[in-house]
Structure 1
Amino acid sequence: MSAQFVRYESPIEDDLGRRVGVFGLTNTLGRSGHLSAADHQFWRTSNEWYNQTLVYPPTGAYDKLAHPLAAAWFKATATQFLAPIDGYLAILRRHGVACIERRSDDPGRVIYEDQHQVVVVPHLSADIAPHDD
């Protein structure tokens, strides 16, 4: 049985103990001016599609004081939102930026949920293993 939730993120924690997700990693590259014209077009078009199509969790879900490690996970059933991720991963690979897939049935304490995603505060004692296909 496959896991209920999936997240793509850096395998390395940042200085604050967070693992930057696939969108944050790609946004950093996009804003740096290092993308090819085709990659830049994919990045902008895809980000715009997500912005128009996927509900952005309320600001409080990412409150840095209340939930400093909050992270969004897609529900495994959100296939329309998972499909474009391959394009983001391809951009990251071309630039040597590591990004791993994680799957879990219990990624943390849910602080926001809609039909496609959850935002959770991760369980600090549980390390969720990377997923290998």
Structure 2
Amino acid sequence: MNSLASEGELTETEEEFRRRNNDWYNANFTNPSDMAPTIYDRALNPGAAAWFKGSSVHLIDRVRGYLEILDAHDVPCVRVESSDPGRVIYEDADQVVVVPYETGYASSSS
């Protein structure tokens, strides 16, 4: 969404939605980077991503509008839910930040 905005791809209405809702999120939940400045450092926490907790409906409900805008711009996106999205490196009342588990096959030596 922010890339579309910085490239001037959003309509006036979409940009207004983005600004209004980004401001709302900034005022209504904790930015993990404010609590742990290196949380998204790619060397320390590769692939770190924030996930809203299922109980944070007031935050999740606003995501729908973002998804609609992304869809209108043919940006593939899906809503993903998981009870175990990765190794938790930050947690508060509304969200967790996780480093995804490694994917691939474990090798065995004999």
How big is each residue's C-alpha offset from its partner over 1:59-86, in whole Å with a ceiling of 9 and x where there is no partner? 2211221102111111011000001101
Residues in 2 aligned to 1:95 and 1:123: alpha-carbon distance in whole angstroms: 31
Structure of higher CA gyration radius: 2
Q: Deviations over 1:27-55 (max 9, x none)?
A: 11111111111111000110111111110
Corresponding pairs, count: 101
1:52 pairs with 2:30: no
Describe how 1:16-95 pairs up with structure 2 within 5 A: 26-57=1-32, 58-95=36-73
The root-mean-square deviation of aligned C-alpha atoms, in Å, is: 1.1
What are the ranges of 5 or more consecutive residues in structure 2 without an aligned counterpart? 105-110
Distance 1:47 1:30 in 2: 12
Higher strand share: 1
Aligned-pair identity (%) = 44
TM-score by length of 1: 0.73
Off by >6 Å, runs of 4+ in structure 1: none
**Counterparts of 1:89-104 in structure 2 under 5 Å?**
89-104=67-82
Gaps of 5+ in 1: 1-25, 127-133
| Structure 1 stretch displaced more, 56-65 or 66-75 | 56-65
AA in 2 matched with 1:120: V
